[in-house]
Amino acid sequence: DGGITQSPKYLFRKEGQNVTLSCEQNLNHDAMYWYRQDPGQGLRLIYYSQIVNDFQKGDIAEGYSVSREKKESFPLTVTSAQKNPTAFYLCASSYGIRYGYTFGSGTRLTVV
Amino acid sequence: KNEVEQSPQNLTAQEGEFITINCSYSVGISALHWLQQHPGGGIVSLFMLSSGKKKHGRLIATINIQEKHSSLHITASHPRDSAVYICAVTRGGSEKLVFGKGTKLTVNP
């Protein structure tokens, strides 16, 4: 079955460490997105990529980095520069704005 | 003021009740999305609409472009409908989604 796989589901890291969240899709979608969700707030866009080897900053990109070396994969690195990294992270993909979006099951990151 | 506002923030219903969740937006849009987020966190896309009305099973979504307003209705609600329902819009000419804060629905048996 086609879909988006995010791993791991839960992730714990010590403060000051970089951590990479995985997002893989087998839907042949061109566009991929990373969102952050905090309690009581709507999802906010971190980074997005519309084609391989190209990506753009979203609304809250500071302290995060991404790569898009393959169409299927869009990993997100939470760096030590991110001041408040504990959150729920969602990955999504799309053929384009006329076709809707598919979301992953998310990764809950806790930094202690 | 947020670009996408949802009401109510929380909603508790008895099984079988008719439920309405509202979404208002303040920007020009190319499409509006209704999403469902279960307690585990994963999100499922329910509807994408740019005009009129769509129906899928017990779920109905409507949109009024002139009034910048959309509603999600659930008929004959069931405890398995308990989830957070999120309204999101794509601004005209952009692929990026702008999300509301969600409505937490609890349906009691």
Partners of residue A89 in chain B, C-beta under 8 Å: none
Q: What is the pLDDT of chain B when averaged over all its residues?
A: 94
For residue B10, the surrounding DSSP H or E stretch is strand B10-14
Q: Which two tokens stand for residue A21?
A: 């969240």
pLDDT the model gives residue B51: 94
User: Which one is predicted more confidently, B54 or B96?
Assistant: B54
Min Cα distance B11 → chain A (Å) is 15
Other CB atoms within 10 Å distance of the CB of residue A78: 25
pLDDT surpasses 90 at B106 = yes
- Is the CB of residue A61 less than 8 Å from the CB of residue A69? no
pLDDT the model gives residue B94: 74
pLDDT the model gives residue B41: 86
pLDDT the model gives residue B102: 96
Q: Which SS3 state, helix, strand or coil, does residue B79 take?
A: helix
pLDDT surpasses 90 at B2 = no
pLDDT the model gives residue A99: 80
Candidates A43, A88, A91: best to mutate against B (most CBs of B within 10 A) is A43
Pairing of the two strands A107-111 and A10-13: parallel
Q: Which SS3 state, helix, strand or coil, does residue A45 take?
A: strand
pLDDT surpasses 90 at B96 = no
Candidates A9, A89, A103: best to mutate against B (most CBs of B within 10 A) is A103
Q: What are phi and psi of A50, to 5 degrees?
A: -100, -20
Instruction: Say whether residue A95 is in contact with chain B using an 8 A CB cutoff.
Output: no
Q: Which SS3 state, helix, strand or coil, does residue A41 take?
A: coil
Pairing of the two strands B103-108 and B83-91: antiparallel
Partners of residue A48 in chain B, C-beta under 8 Å: 95-96
Which residue ranges in chain A fall short of pLDDT 70?
1
